[in-house]
Amino acid sequence: MSSVTLTAKAVRRSFIAAAATSVALSGFAFAEEAADEKVERIEVTGSRIKQVDMETVSPVTVISAADIAMTGEKTVADVLNNSAVNSFGSWRGMSGYGSGGSATSSVNLRGLGSSATLVLLDGRRMPGTSSSSGAVADTSQIPMAIVERIEILRDGASAVYGSDAVAGVINIITKKDFDGVQLDFSTEQPSIEGGDANRFSLATGFNTDKGNITFTYEYYDTKNVMDRDVWDMNDPTYSDYSSFSSVPNGYYNTGEKNDDGKDIYAFYSNSDMCEQTENVSNGTDGENNGRCYYSYGEVTKLFGDVTRNSFMTNFSYEVAEDIQFRGRGSASFTETHTRYAGTPVSTNYPVMDAENQYNPTGEDMTIYMRSVQIGERDTLTETNNFDILGGLVGFSDVANGVDWEVNLQHSASTTNSFNYNLINDNIIQSEIDTGEYDIFNTQGLAYDEWEQQMGALYGAAAHTGVYQGKFESTQIDALASTLIFENDAVSLAMVGGVEYEMISFEQTSDPESAAGIISGGSGGDDVDATRDRTAGYVEFQMGLPANVELSAAVRYERYEQEGNLTGATGEVTESSTFDAVVPKFGLSWRPVDSLLLRASYGDSFRAPNMGEMFSSQSLSFESGYDPVWCGANGDDADADYCSPTNQYKTWYGGNPDLEAEEGNSLTLGGVWNVTDEWNIELSYYSIVYDNKIESVGIDDLLYDEQINGGSDKIHRGADGKIEYIEAGVENIASVETSGLDFVTAYNLETGFGDFNFKLDVSHVMAFDKQADATSEMVEYAGTQDYPDWRGNFAASWYLNDFSAAWTTVYIGSQSGQDLRDEGYDYIVDIPSYMKHNFQVGYTHDWNGSITVGVNNIFDEEAPSMYDFAGYRDTNTGLYDVLGRTYYLRLNQKF
């Protein structure tokens, strides 16, 4: 008879004591038989059927609150980012991103994209961020104080939890049944300037015979980190300077022609003013070359200042003998202050005509200018999240008994963003046309007088960009589960349920930004859309003789969505319907009590989100290398334009013709409890992700133009340089990935303390990506930004009231050879990276504890992506760029 049937006669007891938490984190249950003993059934991530065995047919990684504390990380997002199955890193909010994106973080299981990872809070979907059109949850918004554990389901689970669970599921379990009062305070300080973080939390709970209630409050604050304190801008090879300078540069046709009969263009600038102006230089080689270059990284914030207040309550009350009312409420209020360099006037380049009295060339000039004189681009982003859940949970004594529940949940996420010191291009142009501004200082004005004049020019055109986004969801759902049949040889259990969700999403920017006349921000990607999601599912679990278990689940899910799309012909209303039936099957076998072998297969799908389908065109500035112009003229013809960090005006918009993504996953593996103290897990996974929706990157468009001899997406000026690029989202073929996960944990009890060891390694065997439906699959595993090895090692020691822990984070080396073969000579091979953390703790007699620690104890430097020093030249979503960090945690219970 299966050991995981609903009324199992055998129970698996955890061997690990509270002090041995690092072993328990692996999710393995050290077991012994206890015949005829009944235990409470629990719901384990990966199945909605409650059971008594923590191990199921699907592989699950469990990170407890104790494990989280051992990492020394300050947010849930940072903890998840260090997970070995977060193969290629995740997004971390940074300055310079619109729609509230600079204030969010996400997780990217298996490298398939954050929208392919479903994030749950206590088994229910978290509200999405406005920057992702509600498709991606912000893991940085979850207060650490409420987390009991994090369960990571490492295979596709659309049949169990619904769409988006292509790569896996992250289920964050909150604290409940807490009794008393607990205070926590933590502070940390990196060795670099900035990044100081403080957290204070208060948790309290009360239990009665009828139920319980818990309340948690957390205050979190972290200071900004300036780019100049992270990147080595004094390195002689540092080359991230911009022609959009606080000392303007003019670009004009000299009227001459070269030997090939082409017009010769040149730059003009006032080199004397350049030498007097802060953060401006005569080029990286000390020569003016007709231009003054601005070092924009000197004034920008890499990570912003963040302040967050979070509240959460869980409660339950027995309204009748077999009926319980349970609920949850949460709210978080976050302010993020980010900073980007003063606005480059680049959405519409201003022009000084040849007749202007202050034109030093006598030719029409395109002006490259930056509004540093009125200050940097400071952005305030306010993010507010609300979530309310109420429901009835009960048991009906019908047949073998029926467990049931009915729930109502309402969630909302709002984002308000204010982007200061932007520039209205039309006003700049009209002010230049007045002939009152000597922007090149042809008169030889005193420096302060010239600065005052430039400040007046930019002040007349100053603009505050406003973005507002709101995502709302209301869901009604119900489920029922029962044991259909059971005898000494066979048992069959099932659960079935229905869900209905109403979703609305709106995002708007100020009209001027939407009209494309504002430089320095983003705008135009307005969305006004709704969608209804309807789902029904059923899941079966069958226990067979010889400890064999079969499981099967199937779900039907339907999305109906409608939105207003603005295009060249005006505003039109578009609608679409996506639906799918997705199954999942599993098989497990225990040949002996200490060994579990398992296999699972499941289909998955993801409907396009509302922004991907219905957003109007928005403006961005994307970095890339123009192989057409630079290949024809040589990089030295314009080293600034041909820099790989040069930015191009890029328009993005929605695509109402998108199709749903589809995927399937296969996992094979086993868990072996070698002894009571030692366990091993090995799992193989293979995921196919078809019809994947991605934003078409400008690197792909530039490459296609070079190969095909032209592109209708890339628009060039008379000089052959790019004026702007049109991009968007498309279903661009497939991704296929496979790999191995290995976990082993060992517990050693000695006379001088208990030792716990855990090793968690993930190896990406293949990550093949197809750029479009006509191209061949390209292997990315092991290349730059796609490490094929990731791992974590944890060792902890406990003796009476003392404890210590050492953890190591490992990221494998990456090769840049394939990219160099494509002509990107500046790409380098990236070495392996290893970060070590250490902490010690003491539990005192007054029911509290003190922990001190150091993360990145050896101050390991994050590797660069180029063979020259650059601005943000490290993958900040993958590596720690803050260096050695000291922290202190205090805990007190009453």
**Range with lowest mean pLDDT among 201-210, 283-292, 299-308, 722-731:** 283-292
Q: Is the pLDDT of residue 10 over 50?
A: no
CA 131 to chain centre: 11
Residue 220 to residues 217, 386, 894, Cα–Cα distance (Å): 10, 17, 22
Contact 90, 119 (CB under 8 A): no
Percent of the chain at pLDDT exceeding 70: 91
Taking residue 825's Cβ as centre, other Cβ atoms within 10 Å add up to 13
Q: How far is Cα 86 from Cα 7, in angstroms, rounded to an integer?
A: 36
Cα distance between residue 764 and residue 110, in whole Å: 8
Which carries the bigger pLDDT value, residue 638 or residue 181? 181
SS3 label, residue 541: strand
Q: Which of 696, 698, 702, 670 is nearest to 684 (CA)?
A: 670
* pLDDT for 8 beyond 50: no
3-class DSSP assignment, residue 202: strand
Q: With contact defined as beta carbons under 8 Å apart, do 175 and 150 qualify?
A: no
DSSP 3-state percent helix, strand, coil across the chain (nearest 5):
15, 50, 35
The pLDDT of residue 28 is 32
Mean pLDDT for 291-301 is: 92
pTM: 0.85
Residue, of 667 and 156, whose pLDDT is higher: 667
**Any residues with CB less than 8 A from the CB of 309 and at least 6 apart, and which?**
217, 218, 219, 220, 332, 333, 334
pLDDT band at 4 (very low <50, low <70, confident <90, very high): very low
- Beta-sheet pairing, 211-222 with 225-226: unpaired
Beta bridge partners of residue 491, listed in sequence order: 486, 543
Mean pLDDT of 613-621: 77
Tokens of 683: 């799992």
Reported as a pLDDT band with limits 50, 70 and 90, residue 569 is very low
- pLDDT at position 523 is 67
The CB-based long-range contact list for 82-86 (8 Å cut-off, 24+ gap) reads 82/792, 82/809, 83/107, 83/152, 83/792, 84/741, 84/760, 84/761, 84/762, 84/790, 84/791, 84/792, 85/61, 85/109, 85/110, 85/152, 85/154, 85/168, 85/741, 85/762, 85/790, 86/790
Question: pLDDT at position 544, please?
Answer: 94
* Burial grade of 661 (CB within 10 A; 0-12, 13-18, 19 or more): buried
Report pLDDT for 341.
94
Of 269-273, 319-323, 736-740, 774-778, least confident by mean pLDDT is 774-778
> Over the stretch 868-881, which tens digit does the pLDDT of each residue have?
788 888 898 899 99
Spell out the domain ranges in the chain. 18-233+303-344+377-429+447-617+654-696+732-893, 624-646+701-728
Spatial contact of 225 and 265, defined as CB atoms under 8 Å apart: no
- The pLDDT score that the predictor gives to residue 818 is 76
Which of 93-107, 159-173, 294-308, 792-806 shows the lowest per-residue confidence on average (mean pLDDT)?
Answer: 93-107
Closest CA to 622 of 706, 726, 523, 704: 726
Closest CA to 352 of 415, 299, 429, 408: 429
> Which residue is it, tokens 């005192």?
844
Average pLDDT value for residue range 781-785 = 90
The reported pLDDT for the residue numbered 51 is 62
DSSP class per residue in 433-458: HTT---TT-TT---HHHHHHHHHHHH
Average of per-residue pLDDT across 655-668: 91
pLDDT tens for 713-748 read: 899 988 899 988 888 788 877 899 999 999 999 999
* DSSP label at residue 810: E
Q: Hey, what are 627's tokens?
A: 């192989």
SS3 734: coil
Considering only 171-175, 247-251, 791-795, 851-855, which range has the smallest mean pLDDT?
A: 171-175
Are the beta carbons of 699 and 648 closer than 8 angstroms? no
| pLDDT per position as a tens digit, 343-370 | 999 988 999 999 999 999 999 999 999 9
DSSP classification of residue 287: -
**Highest CATH level, class, for 18-233+303-344+377-429+447-617+654-696+732-893:** mainly beta
| Alpha-carbon separation of residue 455 from 26, 351, 372 (angstroms) | 60, 18, 8
Beta strand residue intervals within 95-210, DSSP E: 117-121, 124-125, 147-153, 168-174, 180-190, 197-207
Is-contact 352 438, C-beta < 8 A?
no
pLDDT at residue 862, as a whole number = 92
Measure the CA–CA gap between 174 and 283, rounded to whole angstroms.
55
What's residue 283's pLDDT? 67
Residue that wins the pLDDT comparison between 59 and 99? 59
pLDDT band at 81 (very low <50, low <70, confident <90, very high): confident
Identity of the amino acid at 872? R
Query: How many Å apart are CA 251 and CA 248, to the nearest integer?
Result: 10
Quote the CA–CA distance of 674 and 667 in Å, as a whole number: 22
Q: CA triplet 505, 507, 511: central angle to 5 degrees? A: 150
User: Within 13 Å and on the Cβ side, how many CA atoms surround 752?
Assistant: 0
Long-range contacts of 11-18 (CB under 8 A, 24+ apart): 11/37, 11/38, 11/39, 11/52, 12/52, 12/53, 12/54, 15/676, 15/677, 15/747, 16/747, 17/754
Given this model, what pLDDT does residue 284 score? 52
What's the rounded Cα separation, in Å, for the pair 497 and 476? 11
More confident position, 69 or 687: 687
For β-strands 661-673 and 595-606, DSSP reports them as: antiparallel
pLDDT band at 20 (very low <50, low <70, confident <90, very high): very low
pLDDT computed for residue 322 by the predictor: 92
Q: Count Cβ atoms within 10 A of the Cβ of residue 646 and give its class: 0-12 exposed, 13-18 middle, 19 or more buried.
A: buried
Question: What is the reported pLDDT for 709?
Answer: 83
- Per-residue three-class SS string for 558-607: EEEEEEEEEECCEEEEEEEEEEEEEEEEEEEEEEECCEEEEEEEEEEEEC
Cβ atoms within 10 Å, residue 406: 14
**pLDDT reading at 25 higher than 60:** no
- Residue 146, CA atoms < 13 Å, CB-side half-sphere: 26
Q: How many CB atoms lie within 10 A of CB 686?
A: 17
| Residue 1: per-residue pLDDT | 31
The 10 Å Cβ neighbour count of residue 766 is: 15
Span of 440-449, 564-573, 773-782 with lowest mean pLDDT: 564-573
- Which whole-number Å values give the CA distances from 20 to 744, 794, 800, in the listed order? 14, 12, 13
d(CA 749, CA 676): 12
Which residues, at least 6 apart from 2, have a Cβ–Cβ distance to it below 8 Å?
8, 491, 542, 543, 544, 547, 548, 549
Q: From CA 373, how far away is CA 513, in angstroms rounded?
A: 21
Helix (H) or strand (E) holding 427: helix 425-433
Q: Using 50, 70 and 90 to split pLDDT, how confident is the model at 2?
A: very low
Which long-range contacts does 429-438 make (Cβ < 8 Å, 24+ apart)?
Answer: 429/348, 429/350, 429/351, 431/457, 431/460, 431/461, 432/350, 432/351, 432/352, 432/356, 432/367, 432/457, 433/353, 433/356, 435/356, 435/357, 435/358, 437/358, 438/358
- Residue 17 pLDDT > 80: no
Of the listed ranges 120-134, 677-691, 806-820, the least confidently predicted one is: 120-134
**SS3 readout for 662-719:** EEEEEEEEEEEECCCCEEEEEEEEEEEEECCEEECCHHHHHHHHHHHCCCCCEEECCC
Mean pLDDT across the stretch 271-293? 80
**Who wins on pLDDT, 95 or 22?**
95
* pLDDT score of 5: 28
> Can you tell me the mean pLDDT for 320-331?
92
587 and 601 Cβ atoms separated by less than 8 Å: no
Residue type, 122: D
Determine the pLDDT at residue 713.
83
Which pLDDT score is estimated for 44?
Answer: 66
- Between CA 70 and CA 74 the distance in angstroms is 11
Mean pLDDT of 268-285: 85
Output 513 or 852, whichever has higher pLDDT: 852
Paired tokens of 474: 């209301």
Instruction: Assess whether pLDDT exceeds 60 at residue 176.
Output: yes
pLDDT at 41 over 60: no
Give the lowest-confidence range in 18-22, 492-496, 808-812: 18-22
The one-letter amino acid at 483? L
The bridge status of strand 647-653 relative to strand 570-592 is unpaired
Phi, psi of 876 (to 5 degrees): -70, -15
Query: Per-residue pLDDT averaged across 467-483, rounded?
Result: 93
**What's the chain's average pLDDT?**
86
Contact present, 295 and 230 (Cβ < 8 Å):
no
| Higher per-residue confidence, 64 vs 892 | 892
CB 531 within 8 A of CB 559: yes
pLDDT for the residue numbered 869 = 80
Q: According to the model, what pLDDT value does residue 288 have?
A: 58
